[in-house]
Structure 1
Amino acid sequence: MTTGTQAPTVPGRPRPAAHLPAGPGAGAGPGTGAAAPAQPGGASTGMKEIRFAALGDSLTEGLGDPVAAGWRGWAPLLAQGLAAEPSAVRLLNCSRSGALTKDVVEEQLPRALDHRPHLASVVIGANDTLRGSFDIETVARRLDTVLAQLRSHGAEVLTACLPDPGRMLGLPWPLARPLGRRMAALNQVVHVLSERYGAVHLHAARHPWVADRASWSADRLHPSELGHRLLAREFHDLLAARGLSDGEPPSTTPGGPGPGAAASVWWMATKGTRWVADRCTDLLPDLLRLAGREARHRLAGTDGLLDLRSRDATAGALARLGGTSLGQ
């Protein structure tokens, strides 16, 4: 399953040979994720150690899947199934809530490379689409840098496309369409770069479970425990199909009930208003401008031009990456 119109594939680069795992990880730093699923065990048991680095924002941090220690999320759930013996897996979760592609390049990527990962996940960009400064060429250049660096250091890479936030929040069309157009551009970049670097790519944007309300937390932007489990299971299936995972697949059975209507109201009353306000400070003036432009084009019957311009800008951004990785 794919989403959006496919842009021309940009020139490829040599791809390192797959290796998961490459062998014991002597000297690698311990995982620092709040809910890392396994402790180092390779050196003492003779098992081959698998090092997994997770890069991203609140989705990978685990928001929506609370545990006693904070948040868990799909990455620790996936890590438990990467090896027949879960204690052989070392997870470093570099992600943090609110992260942008810039933060991944400047802060998370160096930490991940220090971990010397066999496997690295890069699920990022949604917060960029919610900023007034969004520029698809800049986002594409940063993602290209991250994937190129991880692959050049021998890591297998996991990526995913994401659902449209305007649709998830049920925004009116003048607001939803500009956000949807931005997310479509981001997903197209992720599709093309994933193919370019041989990433294990999950087409999650229009997966059937995305439409299930039980898969989402009270804020309707982050997966619930069920949603995180489904993400972990989908990633595991893709890795197993490539022979990159031989552990038990993550369970898709939640440990508790999903969020109800009362939870949604409580979230909006206690945290949602602040969440919206934080983003409106930067995004709202630009989004109102975009909404006004959207309305004018619809009245004139030329709203298709906005889609065309967005696709052209995305294709141009990918074409300008050329055959070598660019910096920020």
Structure 2
Amino acid sequence: MTVDSLGARTDVPPGPKTPVGPVRFAVLGDSFSEGVGDRVAGAWRGWAPLLAEGLSAEGLSSAGPAAGARQTVLLNLAVGGALSRDVDEDQRPRAVAFRPHLASVVVGVNDTLRRTFDIGLLARRLDRVLTDLDAAGAVLLTACLPDPGRMLGLPPPLARPLARRQRSVNAVVHALSDRYDTVHLHLADDTWTENRALWSADRLHPGERGHRAVAAGFHRLLAARGLAHGPSPAPEPAQPPPTRAETLLWLATAGTGWVLRRSRDLLPQLLLLAGAELRHWADGTGTEPLDARADAALAAALTATMGR
């Protein structure tokens, strides 16, 4: 797989042209696709509407298909905190009923933050979502993401278990992206994670500049397939950056809420995982046994999913 500096695959062959009539674009996932980090007029916007504006020459329709024969009609089903189960059980049926020409599916980070994390279950759910959308005729958009432990700068015993989990999620996403020939953005490399300007204050969601970079990356690949006919999203933010007071208020309200929710769910499990890391380091085995266990679970998940 070949990627450019923003993580966009450059080895995808051209595909079918945009269909006549409104372009229906369904967005499935969690807060990354909901638009958290890019607030406009008091609401989250994010990369999906920015991309939708450039899919057709006439732009994004807010009133449905009647507003313009070649406009894009956007159905954003993404919800903050969504797990792969939510995307599979709740968002997938609604997206299929929408009969989208394009459908993005980006999910998995929240799964890594739960004590119930199961890479096999995630792989089966994601495969089911992509299978149904592919069967409905949609061109699929996917992305892999950085692990939250690295983004938050957690100490190694806490960060390593999350990194191990996110690597497994990304491996599943890569395998399924190849299977369904998706339009894929690789957003887990250093070019993305080390550019502080792309991220919002919480370090878990892109800011406006980051959402614009995601939209531009997808637009470039879709244009190569003949599926984007409008202008690429502008790279520079159009909104003034949040003031320090606004940032602190957001972190004190939404940010604190996130920490409290995760503390009840993930923290006890994460402390157990960190304890296992420290025990292996203390007895001289390092992380090899834990890495091997995660690799075995991933291999089983890929065999079960890709071997069907």
Structure 1 residues 181, 264: CA separation in 2 closer, same or farther (over 3 Å shift)? farther
Question: Which of 48, 62, 68 is equivalent to 2:41?
Answer: 68
CA contact (8 A) 1:214 1:258 kept: no
- Find the aligned partners of 2:260 and 2:194 in 1 and give their Cα distance: 26
Residue in 1 aligned with 2:87? 104
One-letter amino acid matched to 2:74: L
What per-residue deviation string (whole Å, max 9, x for no partner) do you get for residues 107-130 of structure 1? 111111111100000001111110
- Match in the other structure for 1:198: 181
> Residue 317 of structure 1: which of 293, 301, 304 is its match?
301
> What letter is aligned with 1:175?
L
- After superposition, the C-alpha distances for 1:29-86 in whole angstroms (9 at most, x for unaligned) are xxxxxxxxxxxxxxxxxxx221100000011010110011511000000001111221
Shift of 1:269: 2.6
Does the 8 Å contact 2:29/2:105 carry over to 1?
yes
SS at match of 1:120: strand
The residue aligned with 1:21 is 18
1:91 is paired with a residue whose SS is strand
For the structure 1 residues 260 and 165, does the alpha-carbon distance in structure 2 shift closer, same or farther, using more than 3 Å as the test? Answer: farther
Runs of 4 or more above 6 Å deviation = none
Partners of 2:255 and 2:84 in 1: CA distance: 23
Quote the offset at 1:309 in angstroms. Answer: 1.8
Counterpart residue identity of residue 18, structure 2: P
**TM-score, normalisation: structure 2:** 0.88
Do 1:82 and 1:236's aligned partners in 2 also have CA atoms closer than 8 Å? yes
Superposed, which structure 2 residues align to 1:278-293 within 5 Å?
278-293=261-276
State which of 66, 77, 86 in structure 2 corresponds to 1:94: 77
Identical-residue share of aligned pairs (%): 57
Q: Measure, in 1, the Cα distance between the counterparts of 2:150 and 2:247.
A: 17
Deviation at 1:259, TM superposition (A): 5.1
SS at match of 2:24: strand
SS in 2 for 1:98: coil
Deviation at 1:271, TM superposition (A): 2.8
Deviations 1:130-164 (A, max 9, x none): 00000000000000000111101110000000011
Q: Is the 8 A contact 1:19 1:154 kept in 2?
A: no
Q: Tell me the residue number matched to 2:28.
A: 55
Matched, 1:152 2:135: yes
Please point out which of 95, 113, 117 is paired with 2:100: 117
Helix, strand or coil at the partner of 2:278? helix
Structure 2 Cα separation of the partners of residues 261 and 210 of structure 1: 23
SS of the residue 1:321 aligns to: helix
Show the counterpart of 1:223: 206
Q: Is the 8 A contact 2:46 2:211 kept in 1?
A: yes
Q: Return the letter of the residue paired with 1:52.
A: F
Q: Given the alignment of the two structures, is residue 164 of structure 1 paired with residue 144 of structure 2, yes or no?
A: no
User: Match for residue 307 of structure 1?
Assistant: 291
Q: CA RMSD in A?
A: 2.0
Displacement of 1:300:
2.5
Contact 2:17/2:225 (CA < 8 Å) preserved in 1?
A: no
- The CA distance in 2 between the partners of 1:161 and 1:64, in whole Å, is 18
Unaligned runs of 5+ in 1: 4-16, 24-47
- What amino acid maps onto 2:37 in structure 1? G
